[in-house]
Amino acid sequence: MTDEHEAPELRRPRSLDPMELGFTPRRPVPWLAPFLLLSTGLRTLLAALFGAYLDKRELQNALGAQVHSQPGTGGELWLDYVADLGDGFHSTYSIAYLLAQPSLAVDGRELPRGQVLVMGGDQVYPTASADAYEDRCKGPYAAAFPNPGPEAVAPTLYAVPGNHDWYDGLTAFLRLFVKVRSDNVGAWRIEQSRSYFVVELPQRWWLFAIDEQSGAYLDDPQLIYFQEAAKQLRPGDRVILCSPEPTWVKSATKPQAYDTIDYFVRTIIAPTGARVPLMLSGDLHHYARYTGRHRQLITCGGGGAYLYPTHKLPERITVPPKDAINRKKSPSQAYDLAARYPTAPTSRRLAWGVFARLPFRNPGFATMLGVLHTLLMLAMVGAATRTDEVVRRLFSVPLGIMVLLVMGGAVLFARPPNASAKRHPQHWLLGIGHGLAHLTLGALGAWAWLHLPFVDWPWPLPLVAAAVLYGPVSGLVAAQLTSLYLLVASQFGVNVNELFAGQGIDDYKIFLRLHIAADGALTIYPIAMDRVGRQWQAQPDAPPWVSWLAPKKRLQPYLAEPPITIR
């Protein structure tokens, strides 16, 4: 038996064989794969429609409601923050490996490992399940830090659920991250008892983490928990507020997005005399820091998921928005974009990589386009070449169906039905234009097919030739047309997420290392890595606390911007 604060002794693997690792290293999620798009869309729709009726936050009232304490050492504390981490193995494990090292030498500074690790949301992709958590989150992190060592104190792990954690109603999340059910994650020990928590930190700093359940209201048990915890706050105390989404950025297009956080700060924190100088969030897979008179707003979602662009970020935001529907709100303040990672020029350059990456990252998407264009071409050829009126009408039916399918799919792609923002004229115009471009491509394909010898071959040889030759070629060409559409649409703020999700960029990852000093100053170190590890070697003879796998080529972390100090 082991002590509850110690990780169990595990046999170190001698290779990257899943049977030895105890989990299966997963490839990055192909976000434009047809069946994945369909299943994720359905889960998102179900979560939006029935999430309020299956809200497990109400049931958490039966669990513990303690306020946690992390006193640190000598009045100081190191805390790590990572979010959006449970995607492909290479990117997820690269970040986990850096987090697990006893210290990191970064830009001439020696930064010790965090005594606390906060996972800020979306610990698994694409949807939550026990197997997905094991392969994409728990397994890689346990392999990176299997044991705290004979003299080290095991760090504590807290986790905030994101929208992907909620897709199964939070069932798998609670099993993994709630102490009453969960084992430790390697050397990181589990202490939280709900999907939200409060942690008392040194020097009158506090960590408040809320569970918004995809933007929903805060449930009564959660509000009661935070109201009781807030009674321990004193005037002058400082609160780090963690939320699943950077609603301060999203409120620029959806003003009501910030209502929950504003209500929380206005009714729970502000009456105590404490202040919130720092807000942290993931969800958008990059690093962005907005600074105001008395507060830093930081998005840091670079823990492993595909890169999200930074060149479309607004240079200035107003929080809360002046046009917010909510009549009761805090005074609006202006915040300026102070830093981002990757830089805007790098983000623009990466956007052009969609032509090279999209069809190869998402072969199922290119295959689907090839099938659709083959059917479209055959319907057009049949309707154009048949002289018999009855036969021509028969061919016009599938042609009409294909035209409706192409146009409807293009319009829906421009603004998916589960998207939170409203459909604006640019969505309709871009969607219709995208659909017409594919119909034009289909007409050109039909014209070219009529001038090839396959059309005169005896039936069904033309159909075989279309499937073997025309399908793959048209799929690749249609994928490039879609890539061009995404690049153009992104200039109007449409399909920006799909432009980068379709590329699935593993690199440009980032996490935060925070230090609370004995004098009460909080310093934030954004640790970035332009290229993740892709080749790993087992370390079977290393001590139990050393990472199971080490990169064959040394990882090169550095600071995305100079340290930010809040005094």
45 and 95 assigned to the same domain? yes
65 and 181 assigned to the same domain? yes
Mean pLDDT, range 304-323, rounded to an integer: 90
Domain containing 56 — which CATH number? 3.60.21.10
409 and 435 assigned to the same domain? yes
297 and 220 assigned to the same domain? yes
175 and 79 assigned to the same domain? yes
Mean pLDDT, range 154-173, rounded to an integer: 86
Residue 451 has pLDDT above 60, yes or no: yes
pLDDT bucket at 6, cuts 50 / 70 / 90: very low
333 and 439 assigned to the same domain? no
Please report whether residue 13 resides in a domain: no
Domain count, the chain: 2
Q: Which pLDDT does position 256 carry in this prediction?
A: 83
Q: Which pLDDT does position 243 carry in this prediction?
A: 93
440 and 508 assigned to the same domain? no
347 and 361 assigned to the same domain? no
Range in 86-95, 133-142, 167-176, 302-311 the model is least confident about: 167-176
365 and 313 assigned to the same domain? no
pLDDT bucket at 48, cuts 50 / 70 / 90: low
Mean pLDDT: which of 214-223, 250-259, 445-454, 554-563 is highest?
554-563
Q: Helix or strand or coil: residue 168?
A: coil
Q: Helix or strand or coil: residue 215?
A: coil
Token pair 């059309």: residue = 455
d(C-alpha 300, C-alpha 288), whole Å: 7
| Distances, alpha carbon 9 to alpha carbons 4, 138, 171, 270, in Å | 13, 16, 28, 46
Please report whether residue 62 resides in a domain: yes
Residue 3 has pLDDT above 50, yes or no: no
HEC string of 69-116 equals ECCCECCEEEEEEECCCCCCHHHHHHHHHHHHCCEEEECCEEEECCCE
Q: Which pLDDT does position 2 carry in this prediction?
A: 41
pLDDT bucket at 4, cuts 50 / 70 / 90: very low
Read off the pLDDT of residues 64-85 as tens digits, 9 standing for 90 and up.
Answer: 778 898 888 989 999 999 999 9
143 and 291 assigned to the same domain? yes
Which residue, of 454, 476, 501, is where some domain finishes?
Answer: 501
Please report whether residue 224 resides in a domain: yes
d(C-alpha 301, C-alpha 96), whole Å: 14
Please report whether residue 11 resides in a domain: no
477 and 462 assigned to the same domain? yes
* Nearest alpha-carbon partner for 503 in 365, 311, 366, 353: 353
Mean pLDDT: which of 387-391, 420-424, 443-447 is highest?
443-447
Mean pLDDT, range 233-251, rounded to an integer: 93
Please report whether residue 491 resides in a domain: yes
Which residue, of 484, 501, 518, is where some domain finishes?
Answer: 501
pLDDT bucket at 228, cuts 50 / 70 / 90: very high
Under 8 Å CB-to-CB from 504, ≥6 apart: which residues?
A: 28, 29, 30, 31, 88, 306, 357, 361, 362
515 and 453 assigned to the same domain? no
pLDDT bucket at 138, cuts 50 / 70 / 90: very high
Q: Would you tell me the crossing angle of helices 425-450 and 471-490 to the nearest 10 degrees?
A: 160
Between 414 and 112, name the one with better pLDDT. Answer: 112
Residue 438 has pLDDT above 80, yes or no: yes
Please report whether residue 17 resides in a domain: no
Range of the structural domain that residue 366 is part of: 354-501
> Which string of b and e fits 245-264 if b means at least 16 CB within 10 Å?
bbbbbbbbeebbbbbbbbbb
Please report whether residue 291 resides in a domain: yes
Backbone angles phi, psi at 522, to 5 degrees: -110, 125
Please report whether residue 122 resides in a domain: yes
Read off the pLDDT of residues 349-359 as tens digits, 9 standing for 90 and up.
Answer: 999 999 999 98
Burial of 454 (0-12, 13-18, 19+ CB in 10 A): middle
